Amino acid sequence: MSIYVTIYQKLEKLGVIDFVNSEDDYRKSQVPSFMDLSIDKLSITGSYTDVSLQHYYEVMGDLVPDPDMVVRVYKAGVAKAISYQDSMQYIEVYPGGNSVNKQQECSQNIFLSTWLSNLIHQGHKLNKY
């Protein structure tokens, strides 16, 4: 099984696929003792939807996303990382649009898969309000 299918299945367990197929633009998961998880719908095309998953922490009254990942969810049952951002950096898998940074593609999808596993283990679920 490819990492892209695995990521999609983990997103499904978190309720992201339900969110993608809904009319909602935003959802949040709160689990006691863990950082909240937020999701925003960024764009929708015929074959995929881009979403942003993030944790936020507060610094001097400002909310800082860390991490914040854009994930492309395809109707075909696969999903992949598009970009990663934290308080120190922003890195795209596809800088400039069409060219792919293979190193970032690999490392971001491994990180995403691990992060999703942790979120599932913590009990997060992006339910409709």
Cα separation, 63 vs 45, whole angstroms: 29
Question: Tens digits of per-residue pLDDT, 29-64?
Answer: 999 999 999 999 999 998 999 999 999 888 888 877
Question: Tens digits of per-residue pLDDT, 57-97?
Answer: 888 888 778 899 999 999 999 999 999 999 889 999 998 87
Predicted confidence at residue 63, as pLDDT, reads 79
Where residue 129 falls among pLDDT bands split at 50, 70, 90? low
Residue 114 in this model has a pLDDT that exceeds 90 = yes
Residue 78 in tokens: 């696969």
Beta-sheet strand order (sheet of 26-29): 26-29, 37-44, 48-59, 62-74, 79-85, 90-92
Residue 1 in this model has a pLDDT that exceeds 80 = no
Question: Tens digits of per-residue pLDDT, 99-112?
Answer: 898 999 999 999 99
Cα separation, 30 vs 92, whole angstroms: 28
